Structure 1
Amino acid sequence: MESKMIWQIKNVKEKKITVLEIVKERLSLLERHKSCNAVICYDKKAVLEQAAELDNSIKEGKSSGKLAGAIITVKDNLEVKGLSATAGMKKYINNIPSQDCDVVKKLRDEGAIILGKTNMPAGAMDMQTFNDIYGRTNHPDFPEYTCGGSSGGGAAAIKLGISDADIGNDFMGSIRVPAHFCGIYGMIGTDRIIPLENIVGGKPYGSTMSDILRIGIQASDLSELHLLFTIIADESKIFPLKQNSGQLKIAYTKDCGDLPISKEYATCFTDFIEGLSAKYQVNEINQSDFDFQKSRECFLKLLYGNMSVSLPMIVRLMTGSKMSNKLKDYLNEEEKREECLAQLDKLMAEYDILLTPVTATAAFLHKSPVKTLGHQAIYDDILVDDTKVPYSVANMGYTTPFSLTANPIIVIPIGKTPKGLPLGLQVVGRRMHEYDLLKYAGIIAQ
């Protein structure tokens, strides 16, 4: 069955529907779901004019591109010509780019309509989506719950049908967590596969942490992820699709090194794994196969070391030993990162994909920070069943090991809680083998 976006593109080319009709429908949905607060900046007149121009080009028989009929939104820390790009930070409230970032330009060149900008937490520094400029974005189905972050506005817009896909970025789980919470698909490629530029608020210092920050895509269907990825990725950096005639080999971990996970999520995850075991070779891995704890600690030390470059001495002292500004300490952690990369590469040489949870729970009720340090909100613990778990552990413990290694990942929906909250999992692939990952994710998603 064709996805909605693929259907629209096909019917626009066959002149069965106009781009203008599609855009008007999406603008109507945007207005209807204003209370969700997913799309926070758009130019209605300009979007309608772009749609009409594209329709005229199609009527005249001109090339319309591979995405004519696709409606895309863009996270608020990426540049779109003529639309505010604030990253949720007041100091950028008057920042209106004069040009599109590279990814947006590629999409426009193929006929996509850029509907508007989607909400995010200030500086992309949270797993919930709210800021002092635009306020809070709610879960698309359960308004009292979070949609996740930091690419939360995009996930909500897709689930509500406002946009077909959203272009965002992921550093600690910012694409993956909202996709999991909202029940859609999310993808990030290997570092540098999708060009990283024009990040409002800046990217991390140095190449190591810049590799970890990656542009990504959220969509309602895997076929849409695949099409968009082929357009925005640098294919010269990707290995061709592997012709695998043998049985699919799947590794999994249900806890990424003894992390907490809710009973309802663990049950759903286990049921999904058992279903795969009936068809494929499926094996559980442990800490000796890949040191999840080491990778998490390494990620945090590299993050703190990177942050220390721009922070006053008094702040570094307040954070204690977590935030060393010594070059030797940072370089030691870079060496540990290489060890983690090598260990995961070895594991992935034995398996086609690795499956893991995304967070400890499904989406949770909106939480307010107990305090804020700069743009970083500090929270009290999350309840995982009846156990208190640190907010960062519950929401980033499962994602940061693969942030560190910058492996390609696709999040797919696998079920729902008894209440109806969506649940997903991470499908981790081999570095620079995105087309294999898309293929295998499609197989297990069936």
Structure 2
Amino acid sequence: MTRKSIQELQDGYSNQQFTPLDITKHYLKRIKKKDPVLNSFITVSKEWARKEAKIVEAKEKAGDQTGRLYGIPLSYKDNIDTKGIRTTYGSSIDANNVPERDAAVVHKLLQEDSITLGKNNMHEYALGITSNNPHYGPVHNPWNPEYTPGGSSGGSAAAVAADLTVASIGTDTGGSIRIPAASCGVVGLKPTYNKIPTQGVFYVSWTLDHVGPLTANMTDLAIMMEALTKQKYVPYLQQDIRGLRVGVPTSFFNEHIEAETYQLYVNALQALEQLGAVLIDVDVSFINGYQQQILNIAASEAGYVHRDRMECCLSQYVADARALLESSLTITSRQYIEALKAKESYMKQFGRLFREQIQVLATPTIPIAARKIGVEEVQFGSYTESLFDAMTRYTEIFNAVEVPALSIPCGITSEGLPVALQLVAAWGREDRLIRAGYAYEQDQLASFYQTRDEICAGYHA
């Protein structure tokens, strides 16, 4: 059986082609066969998933109304609490943690009759962007196992790309949904701040953290968002974007970027224009230097969240996570408050941009394709940048601004790695992202998806 969308699975249930238990067993077999190479799961909840499949089948047979995700197998990043299922936060310190209650997002999706396949591997405590985890092993990119899948939701993106789960829930502090989505060639959405509740998620930063879905396509994303928010998104799956005002930044998002990535981004802009979107040059120079401000917020709050673990167990953290947490000890209260004030300013200026000039902003998701596991620096001509700074440069501003941001594939490099387009909209306007993303997908991505499913999932047309 090749990859099936949420709707195709539910049509199959209606037509009695297969049952939720059949599909659950299918995914568990795929995980057992393919995940030893990818290492995208820390914990596979085999018995739990079979039990949930039987429960939703019995509910349907009893004639009870079933939920929006009836019989759909999902996975969760391992910093999201799951009652009765080990939740390690990607760490050795919490290796034996079994939560007593579900995170709010898990509770929502179980109420919609989804099935939990397990917990995805991740960067330790979500404090990095490679998912090179020393405690559970690195996650491998399904396009090429020598490469990182991005992070920190790397296991979630790899599992979706390889069709080891229908969809996954990740978290995003500075790009941790969008970076792996871009690196693995799937769709990832960081919704508006607090659109999806974060209760039961192990924080990096309560100011910047978001929860959102990673899916194989835009239609599945719309359905997942309906289940997560009880709002209607499927009606916005429209191919008509004539007149949509799309902002194209004249600075920052076209700087220190690999030539091939930039060209694929330009091609995507041209495709949007051919679909009828109106491209408008916009000045975003007001964000220059923003990264240090966001780092001051993230590091300060992460240091507070980890204060007890740092006292007892700092040596057990991987080096990059330890360095970030140690940096929190030198950030002053004044620097933290100044960073929060800068955040307010960025919000106002982006708010004005979306009110007065554009409906959607289009940028590259990340300035580079995935790097080999273990690589920690990037070279742009004579300019050297840490991999972390490069990968988060185009994404983390939108965590600070609290607006929704979507990563959608936009091509493949000559090295055979995916590149992605980032679409951003005003606060609460996920509908615009779904409309624009779907129109672009339907026009441009049929061949990409076929290639992805051959390479990553092993499916051949």
TM range (shorter): 0.7 to 0.9
Is 1:94 aligned to residue 85 of structure 2? no
Query: Residues 77-156 of structure 1 correspond to what in structure 2 (within 5 A)?
Result: 77-156=79-158
Q: Is the 8 A contact 1:415 1:423 kept in 2?
A: yes
Query: Residues 337-376 of structure 1 correspond to what in structure 2 (within 5 A)?
Result: 337-349=343-355, 350-367=357-374
How many angstroms apart in 2 are the aligned matches of 1:130 and 1:422? 19
Structure 1 residues 26, 3: CA separation in 2 closer, same or farther (over 3 Å shift)?
closer
Specify the SS of the correspondent of 1:383. strand
Specify the SS of the correspondent of 1:404. helix
- Structure 2 unmatched ranges of 5 or more: 312-321, 443-461
Letter in 2 for 1:334: L
Corresponding residue number in structure 2 for 1:280: 277
Specify the SS of the correspondent of 1:116. strand
How many angstroms apart in 1 are the aligned matches of 2:341 and 2:159? 40
Structure 1 residues 36, 118: CA separation in 2 closer, same or farther (over 3 Å shift)?
same
How many angstroms apart in 2 are the aligned matches of 1:153 and 1:293? 32
Structure 1 residues 393, 9: CA separation in 2 closer, same or farther (over 3 Å shift)?
same
How many angstroms apart in 1 are the aligned matches of 2:302 and 2:82? 27
Q: Is the 8 A contact 1:57 1:64 kept in 2?
A: yes
Structure 1 residues 263, 12: CA separation in 2 closer, same or farther (over 3 Å shift)?
same
Is 1:298 aligned to residue 305 of structure 2? no
Q: What's the CA shift for 1:385?
A: 6.6
How many angstroms apart in 2 are the aligned matches of 1:54 and 1:85? 24
Specify the SS of the correspondent of 1:167. strand
How many angstroms apart in 2 are the aligned matches of 1:10 and 1:211? 40
Q: How many residues align?
A: 419
Query: Residues 239-318 of structure 1 correspond to what in structure 2 (within 5 A)?
Result: 247-253=243-249, 256=252, 259-278=255-274, 279-288=276-285, 291-307=286-302, 309=304, 310=307
How many angstroms apart in 2 are the aligned matches of 1:355 and 1:81? 39
How many angstroms apart in 2 are the aligned matches of 1:203 and 1:366? 23
Is 1:9 aligned to residue 16 of structure 2? no
Corresponding residue number in structure 2 for 1:191: 193
How many angstroms apart in 2 are the aligned matches of 1:336 and 1:130? 32
Corresponding residue number in structure 2 for 1:161: 163
Over residues 186-235 of structure 1, what are the superposed CA-to-partner deviations in whole Å (9 max), with x where a residue is unaligned? 011111111111123x453xxxxx24100011000111111111222275
Specify the SS of the correspondent of 2:391. helix
Structure 1 residues 50, 235: CA separation in 2 closer, same or farther (over 3 Å shift)?
closer
Corresponding residue number in structure 2 for 1:219: 215
Specify the SS of the correspondent of 1:344. helix
Given candidates 433, 438, 441, the residue that maps to 1:442 is: 438
How many angstroms apart in 1 are the aligned matches of 2:197 and 2:45? 26
Corresponding residue number in structure 1 for 2:317: none
Q: Is the 8 A contact 1:120 1:152 kept in 2?
A: yes
Q: What's the CA shift for 1:40?
A: 1.8
Given candidates 398, 403, 412, the residue that maps to 2:399 is: 403
**Structure 2 length as normaliser, TM-score?**
0.84
How many angstroms apart in 1 are the aligned matches of 2:189 and 2:248? 18
Structure 1 residues 82, 388: CA separation in 2 closer, same or farther (over 3 Å shift)?
same
Corresponding residue number in structure 2 for 1:53: 55
Over residues 395-420 of structure 1, what are the superposed CA-to-partner deviations in whole Å (9 max), with x where a residue is unaligned? 11111111211110111111110122
Corresponding residue number in structure 2 for 1:373: none
How many angstroms apart in 2 are the aligned matches of 1:416 and 1:358? 14
How many angstroms apart in 1 are the aligned matches of 2:409 and 2:254? 23
Query: Residues 35-50 of structure 1 correspond to what in structure 2 (within 5 A)?
Result: 35-50=37-52
CA RMSD of aligned residues (A): 2.8
Letter in 1 for 2:282: I
How many angstroms apart in 2 are the aligned matches of 1:28 and 1:142? 22
How many angstroms apart in 2 are the aligned matches of 1:79 and 1:214? 15
Q: What's the CA shift for 1:281?
A: 0.9
Q: What's the CA shift for 1:384?
A: 4.1
Q: What's the CA shift for 1:298?
A: 2.2
Q: What's the CA shift for 1:70?
A: 1.1
Letter in 1 for 2:224: L
Over residues 229-255 of structure 1, what are the superposed CA-to-partner deviations in whole Å (9 max), with x where a residue is unaligned? 12222759x9x98x9997111012376
Letter in 2 for 1:298: Q
Letter in 1 for 2:15: E
Q: Is the 8 A contact 1:158 1:220 kept in 2?
A: yes
How many angstroms apart in 1 are the aligned matches of 2:140 and 2:426? 34
How many angstroms apart in 2 are the aligned matches of 1:169 and 1:63? 30
How many angstroms apart in 2 are the aligned matches of 1:264 and 1:125? 28
Is 1:336 aligned to residue 329 of structure 2? no
Q: What's the CA shift for 1:63?
A: 2.3
Q: What's the CA shift for 1:351?
A: 0.8
**Structure 1 length as normaliser, TM-score?**
0.87
How many angstroms apart in 1 are the aligned matches of 2:381 and 2:62? 60
Letter in 2 for 1:393: D
Corresponding residue number in structure 2 for 1:207: none
How many angstroms apart in 2 are the aligned matches of 1:116 and 1:321? 32
How many angstroms apart in 2 are the aligned matches of 1:307 and 1:57? 42
Q: Is the 8 A contact 1:254 1:356 kept in 2?
A: no
Corresponding residue number in structure 2 for 1:19: 20
- Percent identity between matched residues is 26
Structure 1 residues 245, 107: CA separation in 2 closer, same or farther (over 3 Å shift)?
closer
Structure 1 residues 442, 355: CA separation in 2 closer, same or farther (over 3 Å shift)?
same
